Amino acid sequence: MSHVMSIEPNPPAALLALQREALAPELTGPDLEPEALNRRFAAADPQELVEWAAATFGDGLVLSTSFGIQSAATLHLVTRVAPGVPVIWVDTGYLPPETYRFAAELRERLALNLHVVQSPLSPARMEALHGRLWESEDPADLDRYDRIRKVEPMRRALAELGARAWISGIRAEQTEHRSRLPRIDRQAERFKISPILHWTTKQVHEYLKANDLPYHPLFYEGYATVGDAHSSRALDADDAHERDTRFGGRKQECGLHLSDEEDESLTASRL
C-alpha cells in the first residue's frame, strides 16, 4: 500500500516510475557533471537555474516543500516556470494547525500538484513503540525520529514519483552544513538543485513582497523557522541562530539534505 497520497487522482506510482524511466534521457556525461554545472550557473539567477532543470529533466523533476516560514517563495518561483511539477510534502503528523491551513492556501493559490507523504508508522504507534523520541537527550533517538517521520517517507516519495532531479528551497544561511553545499549536486542516484541557496533572508522577503506572497502565519508570532509543533518555538533574544528554536537547539539537520551514500542521516543530530 503506497503512502504517497496525491491530492488529485494520479496513475499508479509504479507505472509512472516505469514510464519516466523509459522516456528519460541518460543523466551522465560531461554536460551533466555537477562541478562543471556549478561553474556554468555560478552567476545565474534562480529562475534561470529552474528553467535549465525543467528543460533537462522534464517529467523527472520534482520539488519539495515543508510549507515553512518562507516556502511560498520557492513554490512560486518553480511553479511559475514548471506548472504541474510534482510537489512533495512530508507530513510528519505533528505539524502545527497553522501549517496545514497555510498548505491549503498555497495549494489553491499556486495550483500545486501536491503529493503528501507520511510514515507508515502512525504517531500514536511510534510513541507506543519508541516513546516521545523528540524529547530525548540522546542524539540517536532524535535521528530515529527523523528517519521514521521524514527521511524514509521522502526517499520513498522520490522513488515512487520516478524523480531524477529534486529541487529544494534550502538556503546557505540556515545551517553550517548547508553553507557548504553547492547549488547543483548529486544525492544518491538523482540530481539535487537548490536555486535560492545563496539568497539572504532579505532577498527572500523582497521576493515575497514583490509577488504579493504570504509568510507562514506563525511568522507574525515571532517564528523565524517552523517544523513540528512539539519542537518549534518563537525566536527570543537569547537565541544565537534561528535554528536554536528547533528541537531546543540540539540539532540543525533532519537528514533530508545529507548524503544517502554515506547514510549521514543516521547521525544528523550531530550536525
DSSP state of 164: S
Structural contact between residues 85 and 63, judged by C-beta atoms closer than 8 angstroms: yes
Structural contact between residues 65 and 73, judged by C-beta atoms closer than 8 angstroms: no
- Per-residue buried b or exposed e for 8-47, using 16+ beta carbons within 10 Å of the residue's own CB: eeeeebeebbeebeeeeeeeeeeeeeeeebeeebeeeebe
Structural contact between residues 77 and 42, judged by C-beta atoms closer than 8 angstroms: no
Is 190 among the catalytic positions? no
Spatial separation of the C-alpha atoms in residues 59 and 208, rounded to whole Å: 27
* Torsion over CA: 61, 224, 255, 147 (sign): negative
Please list the alpha-helical segments (H only) found in 132-200.
139-146, 152-160, 176-179
Beta strands in 150-200 (DSSP E): 165-167, 184-187, 190-193
Give me the catalytic one of 88, 254, 258, 268.
254
Cα–Cα nearest to 223, from 248, 251, 203, 243: 243
∠ CA 271-238-176, nearest 5°, is: 25
Please list the alpha-helical segments (H only) found in the chain.
13-23, 34-40, 46-57, 71-81, 97-110, 123-130, 139-146, 152-160, 176-179, 201-210
- Catalytic amino acids? 254
